[in-house]
């Protein structure tokens, strides 16, 4: 099925590969591992394709091919970033974006340094006011957890967003030991403009750490 060239068949095969009730349960982990290289090739090809129309998968809707590929990428242990960045920025719906954000975390877990293109895509999502706030916060959390220091610029840019939650989440990502001194002034200016009472938890944790690091 993976070699069929048919989008629906490839999607079914990818789902059978990654799903806990699929190939591994039926034939064992060795059977799944044996197909890992071919699966990754199909995943990357699928993510470069346009999202499939809803009629090909009425239950899933638009972009069922991307959902299947993202789920497979998420559990594959791969560190492939470029096509994932493109899907993240141009997700056909919220479900695809959410799944792509989960896949980003998996990719970062297997990378020594965050891919700049993927960092750029996460920054774009974080600053996009048309994206649900929860997804924007997830994008910032991914930047915060990204390996290396490529995400610092994207986090600084996100502090310029109008939402207090986004500002504080991005500020939190700048508060680790290696970079906090460089950005303490920015964080303190943000803090001075945040509300005093009934603040989001993102603000509370920044304030708690600011107090702890200035004592």
By the 8 A CB rule, do 142 and 158 touch? no
pLDDT at 74: 86
CA 142 – CA 146 distance, rounded (Å):
6
* DSSP 8-state code for residue 56: G
CA 176 – CA 187 distance, rounded (Å):
12
CA 105 – CA 151 distance, rounded (Å):
13
pLDDT at 3: 64
Tokens of 19: 């799903």
Q: Is the pTM of this model over 0.95?
A: no
pLDDT at 92: 86
pLDDT at 158: 98
Q: Which long-range contacts (CB under 8 A, 24 or more apart) does 53-62 make?
A: 56/7, 56/8, 57/8, 57/11, 61/93, 61/95, 62/92, 62/93
Q: Residue 50 in 3-state DSSP? A: coil
pLDDT at 58: 81
pLDDT at 215 over 60: no
Tokens of 36: 């890992």
* DSSP 8-state code for residue 2: T
pLDDT at 12: 81
By the 8 A CB rule, do 137 and 171 touch? no
pLDDT at 169 over 60: yes
Closest CA to 83 of 37, 48, 120: 48
Mean pLDDT of 107-123: 92
By the 8 A CB rule, do 74 and 109 touch? no
DSSP string, 156-196: HHHTTSS-HHHHHHHHHHT-STTTHHHHHHHHHHHHHHS-S
Q: Which helix (H) or strand (E) holds 66?
A: helix 64-76
pLDDT at 29: 65
pLDDT tens track for 152-167: 999 999 999 999 999 9
List C-alpha distances in Å: 64 to 34, 60, 118, 150: 25, 6, 22, 31
pLDDT at 27 over 70: no
Most confident of 25-39, 130-144, 175-189: 130-144
pLDDT tens track for 30-86: 656 656 788 888 888 999 999 988 888 887 889 899 999 999 888 887 776 778 999
């Amino acid at each position: 099925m993976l070699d069929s060239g048919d989008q629906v068949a490839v999607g079914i095969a990818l789902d059978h590969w990654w799903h806990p009730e699929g190939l591994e349960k039926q034939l064992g982990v060795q059977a799944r591992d044996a197909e890992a290289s071919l699966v990754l090739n199909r995943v990357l090809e699928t993510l470069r394709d346009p999202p499939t129309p809803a009629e090909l998968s009425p239950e899933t809707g638009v972009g069922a091919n991307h959902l299947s590929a993202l789920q497979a990428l998420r559990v594959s242990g791969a560190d492939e970033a470029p096509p994932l960045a493109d899907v993240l920025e141009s997700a056909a719906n919220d479900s695809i974006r959410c799944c792509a954000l989960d896949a980003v975390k998996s990719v970062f877990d297997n990378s020594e340094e965050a891919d700049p293109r993927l960092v750029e895509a996460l920054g774009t999502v974080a600053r996009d006011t048309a994206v649900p706030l929860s997804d924007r916060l997830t994008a910032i959390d991914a930047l915060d957890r990204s390996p290396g220091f490529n995400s610092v610029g994207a986090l600084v840019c996100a502090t310029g967003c109008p939402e207090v939650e986004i500002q504080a989440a991005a500020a939190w990502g700048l508060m680790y030991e290696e970079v906090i001194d460089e950005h303490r002034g920015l964080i303190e200016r943000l803090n001075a403009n945040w509300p005093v009472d009934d603040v989001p938890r993102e603000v509370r944790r920044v304030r708690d750490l600011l107090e702890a690091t200035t004592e």
